Amino acid sequence: MNRRFAPPSRHILWIHGWGSSSKIWADLAKEMPEYRHHYIHFGKCRTVDDLRGTIRSAMLELPRQQPGDWHIVAWSMGGMLVLEQLLERAAEQRETTLHIRSVALVSTTLRFSHPDRAKGWPARVLERMRSGLRTDREGTLRQFASFMLSAEEREAGHRIDDDAEFSDEGLDAGLRYLLETDLTARWGAWESKLRPIRLIRMHGTDDAVCLPGALPAACGETPILLFPGAGHAPFLTQRDKFIGKIRGGFAHEHHR
């Protein structure tokens, strides 16, 4: 059977990051027709609770509504939101009834804001971005996007062309989430409580947004797959390699 036309019971839920949109995944989804593709939309979110609720609802309800093998690809803030939901279930010692086989966390850290610049962004920078959004939304988003590419990627002519699928309130809520959320203390729960879900961690070596130096060490069977020279969006600048890693990681689950 042609792998590009495999049975349509495989699903990927794509979750974008702050200041971005679901359209950023379009080219990748086209290259993976063996999966049914679903997308998170943060456009109606106004609060941090809205962001969390959107992710929680999708992770619980979509696999129930459309049974099959489900996988998640979550980027940056989207990855933090997904991981937070998984770790909360572990902390509550609930059986994972999510019907999700694997989660790929792309350019995701456990704590975005940190006083040590080698481990995260200082709170004052995020507060300045919050102020900037109120007076110059587009300029603030462009400035943030400028950090996504590494020097090597800029020299190669790569660009980030995307719209922010967020309301003004949603953008502010996302920054507050990044300011306040710290998943570090809960990270160890993954190995002991959530092993049924395979975790795939992917990161550019030159990411200036979620700094590689802030990443926790490999946990059990969850090593970090690095993309040399890549910045914050390796799925755009090293697309073929990224798709290969995703296919390989998800196929591992289909053959278990």
Strand (E) or helix (H) holding 15? strand 10-15
The 3-state DSSP class for residue 17 equals coil
The confidence score (pLDDT) of residue 232 equals 97
Long-range pairs for 21-27: beta carbons < 8 A, 24 or more residues apart? 21/162, 21/163, 21/164, 21/165, 22/165, 23/162, 23/163, 23/165, 24/75, 24/162, 24/233, 24/236, 25/73, 25/235, 27/239
The confidence score (pLDDT) of residue 163 equals 87
Orientation angle between helical segments 48-65 and 168-180, nearest 10 degrees:
90
The confidence score (pLDDT) of residue 3 equals 40
| pTM > 0.85: yes or no | yes
The confidence score (pLDDT) of residue 214 equals 72
Torsion of CA 92, 93, 95, 101, to 10 degrees: 80
118-144 per-position pLDDT tens digit: 899 999 999 999 999 999 999 999 999
HSE-up (13 A, CA, CB side) for residue 115: 0
Phi, psi of 201 (to 5 degrees): -110, 125
Looking up tokens 């296919």, which residue turns up? Answer: 247
* Regions in the chain scoring below 50 on pLDDT: 1-6, 95-96, 254-256
Q: What is the CA radius of gyration of the chain?
A: 17
The confidence score (pLDDT) of residue 215 equals 72
The confidence score (pLDDT) of residue 212 equals 82
